[in-house]
Chain A
């Protein structure tokens, strides 16, 4: 019996080559897309699942509700938290701070940039990570110990053991330090948000001059990880945090009246959620590694399911459309005694066979596309059918589920034929119309396709918009060098900058603490002289050199740029005892508004008081107002910012050059660098690359969506092609009648195209609101965004869908329109 089923199934496959090809190809594409997405989603969801006790490890995130601007959210927290939280909360088993720095390592006469994490001695209590050399107890013994990863060992020592070897750190707080390797950590898997290349102990003494690193309650520079005791009620812990904050930290005057906890909030996020969720809860300001996005994961997973649904609908539609061709077989089987159940089994079996064939082809397709896909996503996903314990069961489950979904309706539909009627009438049981249900399913397919088209267009256009948005400053022909201050002494630095300025192709070279795309937030309180509320206004500080605004092509709204011509445009350090310095400053438009000035002109001359940068009390006189700059990704709005010159902060150099031979210029600059910065590697970036680089993730997303949307369209078109070839044959008689009555070929083609345009148009009506809603949601992640209601996108998607339908159906329509009506009308 089963042999007979299989024989019939295979013969049917071969007999109807077009339908079989469409079915199998559609399912193959659907399954391949599904598999590719599955691999990606599984990878994204696997982050840090392997970390021992990961379910008990949380990171402490901070949010500052600064009045007059959007909250400052960060995944970091202040230094004293780690020392004080365990005293108040016994449920904390261990706690560790991670503080990332990038000093230089001198090795065999060469200088290397090296990421180093400063940690507390409790590191291994929180992260129970395996070691390749040494023991947790022996590592991180003292301030001259260093723990490195296998990759770092490879970098400096090759394949040799590293235990006991010495590494020379250049210029940690101005001094060269010899560190001894006391252990080697096994490399951490890629699917981790954690990144440890080299670890040293936090030496608070060494940072006495930089209290914001570890000692200030309000500076957030550390990743604080807490391991809770098993069974801890995390919600209860979080509920206790406001009281802790109020007890430890005096209220910030900027918050006006009220408690510190109204201004400063702490929250926890589990280690295993960090990769996908940290970007939601806090901004990605200064996170350890680039974050994934739950939106992408959900978006891709949904796309995979939708493509599979489209493929599954193809199967249902083609099977039921073809059912008339099999009516006689079904009837004969019933006549000779087949029960309905047996027939359902037979047809379901056929559906499983087809799905299984498609799955095998899909696996081949995935193997072929994986290298490209990996390259694109910058991942190393693989399809290890035999070593991966999940894959085979998952694939079998997918075939079973998809086979059942696709096959159940056709199976019941086919097995329900009344044999007497079909055999006696010697006719088909199918109506000459494209069935109502089939039309509905086509509507579903095209709704999905159109919605994907619209969303893809929105993602693409927004990304392009973000890359080209008006920034408020010039981005072309600007080179950025980092570490200009930290890398050398004052003489060398001055010599270098002056040499660069003297180059004929250099129009300007200006120093600053930040360059566009930097995510640092350095907020400080400023009191406005004459303001009776005695309020402290939080402003973000950026230190800029003389002529910075001009070099960046920024048009001032009022006043002037900082200039060496004025003796008052620089903070003098150390301050003279008992003297209040008055220093010029610029503010941006947001800051002027925040301070209560209705127009930029009104802010000029205003005095702000602060005690920033250990300079003692300072009076900042506003001498200029600039527009809000788009310093960061368009995801974020502009922060109220104050600009003044503080020599000690000027670490980045922006070189404005005449367009032309940039490589030659870079060579010259590098030579000057090597001369003045013998212990710091030369690195540079173009400002333009920094800015477009901010959208790498969106770029990737939009391309991947484009790819999968293309696949969805392909599968839907395949289905429509098959259905059209069937439905149009069914209308042959009608076409004959119309031709006899005077219709010409264009009349008939129009008629046929209209038949398939209707479901596409209805699909558009369904897709529009859904796509609009989803696009709107996605766009809300951007402060600067295109409108989700762009008539061109919607009309374009409709037109594209119609064109796809017309191209798909057109061939059939022309063929039937050209056929001689005589053949259609002669017999009935």
Chain B
């Protein structure tokens, strides 16, 4: 699916240079469920942003579906991103002014090849799948955290991405809702979606097939777990 080779990301502010990622090499195969762990500031989010093509690496190669996208301009990245990648955030990042249905529909709105009728159908299907169909007309502020995250997941999957990037998807949820979200992600993975998840929770990392541990911008260990 994707391959990071000697990937480095450095931030420069005036005279101080901070290296967030330092020659990282990672391979993720299609259909994998990978957890990324590490303490705060180890570069997890930076890594996820680069993998999600929201940020460019300073050096190194990022091979995504056999294309080196490391130097691509934003417009090209946006195109690859919207065709292949779905995002789930810790803080859900729903738009407060849009209803649940509209928030989910948003992910399809920027796909020109999806007709308005098909859009409606796919939104309804995604909501059904996440068990939030009865909330379609509600505003995000009327929902619990767990429900909001399910909306966010529905939004992430509605465009049928090959890969979902989840940035601490359970971080703002209680344990019951957290389990629920993990089960949904596992189910998506079973259907063939590649999932890359950043988490602080060892317990939730257990759901993944492989855990990559980062420290100070470098991969320190990779634990492979047998498929269940």
- Which residues does A use to contact B, with CB under 8 Å? 431-433, 733-734, 736-745, 747, 820-822, 825-828
Q: A740-B87, A822-B54, A822-B55 are in contact. Are A433 and B97 (CB under 8 A)?
A: yes
Q: Which residues of B contact A820 (CB under 8 A)?
A: 54-55
Q: Which residues of A contact B45 (CB under 8 A)?
A: 826
* A642, B157: Cα distance in complex, Å: 89
Do A741 and B106 have beta carbons less than 8 Å apart? yes
Do B110 and A821 have beta carbons less than 8 Å apart? no
* A89, B64: Cα distance in complex, Å: 106
Which one of B54, B97, B111 contacts A740 once the chains associate, using CB atoms below 8 Å? B54
* A825, B111: Cα distance in complex, Å: 22
Report B42-94 residues with CB < 8 Å from chain A CB: 45, 49, 52, 54-55, 74-75, 78-79, 81-82, 87, 89-91, 93-94
Residue of B nearest to A828 (CB): B91
Q: Which residues of A contact B110 (CB under 8 A)?
A: 738, 741-744, 747
* A825, B52: Cα distance in complex, Å: 13
* A742, B81: Cα distance in complex, Å: 7
* A744, B155: Cα distance in complex, Å: 18
Residue of A nearest to B110 (CB): A742
* A733, B89: Cα distance in complex, Å: 12
The distance from the CB of A291 to the nearest CB of chain B, in whole angstroms, is: 56
* A742, B90: Cα distance in complex, Å: 19
Decide if B220 is an interface residue (CB 8 Å cutoff).
no
Do A744 and B78 have beta carbons less than 8 Å apart? yes
Q: Which residues of B contact A736 (CB under 8 A)?
A: 93
Residue of A nearest to B48 (CB): A822
Decide if B136 is an interface residue (CB 8 Å cutoff).
no
Q: Which residues of B contact A825 (CB under 8 A)?
A: 89, 91, 93
The distance from the CB of B99 to the nearest CB of chain A, in whole angstroms, is: 14
The distance from the CB of A740 to the nearest CB of chain B, in whole angstroms, is: 5
The distance from the CB of A304 to the nearest CB of chain B, in whole angstroms, is: 38
Do B95 and A744 have beta carbons less than 8 Å apart? no
Q: A734-B95, A736-B93 are in contact. Are A741 and B55 (CB under 8 A)?
A: no
Q: List 28 A-B contacts (CB under 8 A).
A: A432-B96, A432-B97, A433-B96, A433-B97, A734-B95, A734-B97, A736-B93, A737-B93, A738-B106, A741-B82, A741-B109, A741-B110, A742-B81, A742-B107, A742-B111, A742-B159, A743-B78, A743-B110, A744-B75, A744-B78, A744-B110, A745-B74, A745-B75, A825-B89, A825-B91, A825-B93, A826-B45, A827-B91
Do B107 and A733 have beta carbons less than 8 Å apart? no
B interface residue count range (under 10 / 10 to 19 / 20 to 34 / 35 or more): 20 to 34
Do B91 and A822 have beta carbons less than 8 Å apart? no
Residue of A nearest to B106 (CB): A741
The distance from the CB of B73 to the nearest CB of chain A, in whole angstroms, is: 11
* A512, B22: Cα distance in complex, Å: 100
The distance from the CB of A698 to the nearest CB of chain B, in whole angstroms, is: 49
Q: Which residues of A contact B91 (CB under 8 A)?
A: 825, 827-828
Q: Which residues of A contact B49 (CB under 8 A)?
A: 822
Residue of B nearest to A733 (CB): B93
The distance from the CB of B170 to the nearest CB of chain A, in whole angstroms, is: 15
* A736, B109: Cα distance in complex, Å: 15
Q: Which residues of B contact A433 (CB under 8 A)?
A: 96-97
Q: A432-B96, A734-B95, A747-B110 are in contact. Are A740 and B75 (CB under 8 A)?
A: no
Residue of A nearest to B93 (CB): A737
The distance from the CB of B49 to the nearest CB of chain A, in whole angstroms, is: 5
Q: Which residues of B contact A747 (CB under 8 A)?
A: 110
The distance from the CB of A739 to the nearest CB of chain B, in whole angstroms, is: 7
Q: Which residues of B contact A431 (CB under 8 A)?
A: 96
* A825, B55: Cα distance in complex, Å: 13
The distance from the CB of B167 to the nearest CB of chain A, in whole angstroms, is: 8
Q: A432-B96, A433-B97, A822-B49 are in contact. Are A742 and B55 (CB under 8 A)?
A: no
Q: Which residues of A contact B159 (CB under 8 A)?
A: 741-742
* A744, B109: Cα distance in complex, Å: 12
* A431, B55: Cα distance in complex, Å: 28
Q: Which of A741, A742, A747, A820 has its CB near the most chain B CB atoms (within 10 A)?
A: A741
Q: Which of A432, A736, A827, A828 has its CB near the most chain B CB atoms (within 10 A)?
A: A828
* A820, B53: Cα distance in complex, Å: 11
Q: Which residues of B contact A743 (CB under 8 A)?
A: 78, 109-110
The distance from the CB of B118 to the nearest CB of chain A, in whole angstroms, is: 16
Report B175-225 residues with CB < 8 Å from chain A CB: none
* A744, B74: Cα distance in complex, Å: 9
Do A742 and B93 have beta carbons less than 8 Å apart? no
Q: Which residues of B contact A741 (CB under 8 A)?
A: 82, 87, 106-107, 109-110, 155, 159
* A825, B91: Cα distance in complex, Å: 8
Residue of A nearest to B95 (CB): A734
Residue of A nearest to B78 (CB): A744
* A736, B90: Cα distance in complex, Å: 14
* A738, B55: Cα distance in complex, Å: 15
* A738, B107: Cα distance in complex, Å: 8
* A740, B82: Cα distance in complex, Å: 8
Residue of B nearest to A743 (CB): B110
* A820, B107: Cα distance in complex, Å: 18
Q: Which residues of A contact B107 (CB under 8 A)?
A: 741-742
Q: Which residues of B contact A826 (CB under 8 A)?
A: 45
* A632, B114: Cα distance in complex, Å: 66
Q: Which residues of B contact A737 (CB under 8 A)?
A: 93-95, 106
Q: Which residues of B contact A742 (CB under 8 A)?
A: 78-79, 81-82, 107, 110-111, 159
| Sample of 19 more A-B contacts, CB < 8 Å, known A738-B106, A822-B54, A828-B90 | A432-B97, A433-B96, A433-B97, A733-B93, A737-B93, A738-B110, A739-B78, A740-B54, A740-B81, A741-B106, A741-B110, A742-B78, A742-B159, A743-B78, A820-B55, A821-B54, A825-B91, A825-B93, A827-B91
* A710, B137: Cα distance in complex, Å: 45
The distance from the CB of A815 to the nearest CB of chain B, in whole angstroms, is: 14
The distance from the CB of B80 to the nearest CB of chain A, in whole angstroms, is: 10
* A662, B124: Cα distance in complex, Å: 83
* A431, B96: Cα distance in complex, Å: 9
Q: Which residues of B contact A733 (CB under 8 A)?
A: 93
Q: Which residues of B contact A821 (CB under 8 A)?
A: 54
Do B96 and A740 have beta carbons less than 8 Å apart? no
Q: Which residues of B contact A740 (CB under 8 A)?
A: 52, 54, 81, 87, 93
Q: Which residues of B contact A822 (CB under 8 A)?
A: 49, 54-55
* A741, B95: Cα distance in complex, Å: 12
Q: Which of A742, A821, A827, A828 has its CB near the most chain B CB atoms (within 10 A)?
A: A742
Residue of B nearest to A736 (CB): B93
The distance from the CB of B155 to the nearest CB of chain A, in whole angstroms, is: 7
Q: Which of B54, B87, B91, B107 has its CB near the most chain A CB atoms (within 10 A)?
A: B54
Q: Which residues of A contact B79 (CB under 8 A)?
A: 742
Residue of A nearest to B98 (CB): A734
* A828, B45: Cα distance in complex, Å: 14
Q: Map CB proximity to A onto B114-148 as digits: 1 under 8 Å, 0 otherwise.
A: 00000000000000000000000000000000000
* A747, B74: Cα distance in complex, Å: 14
**Which 8 residue pairs of A and B lie closest in terms of their CB atoms, listed nearest first?**
A742-B82, A828-B91, A742-B110, A741-B107, A734-B95, A822-B54, A737-B93, A822-B49
The distance from the CB of B209 to the nearest CB of chain A, in whole angstroms, is: 25
The distance from the CB of B143 to the nearest CB of chain A, in whole angstroms, is: 16
* A517, B139: Cα distance in complex, Å: 70
* A738, B54: Cα distance in complex, Å: 12
* A828, B110: Cα distance in complex, Å: 25
* A433, B89: Cα distance in complex, Å: 22
Q: Which of B55, B87, B93 has its CB near the most chain A CB atoms (within 10 A)?
A: B93
The distance from the CB of B165 to the nearest CB of chain A, in whole angstroms, is: 10
* A741, B161: Cα distance in complex, Å: 11
Q: Which residues of B contact A432 (CB under 8 A)?
A: 96-97
* A736, B89: Cα distance in complex, Å: 12
Q: Which residues of A contact B82 (CB under 8 A)?
A: 741-742
Q: Which of A433, A740, A825 has its CB near the most chain B CB atoms (within 10 A)?
A: A740
Residue of A nearest to B107 (CB): A741
Q: Which residues of A contact B55 (CB under 8 A)?
A: 820, 822
* A737, B93: Cα distance in complex, Å: 7
Q: Which residues of A contact B93 (CB under 8 A)?
A: 733, 736-737, 740, 825, 828
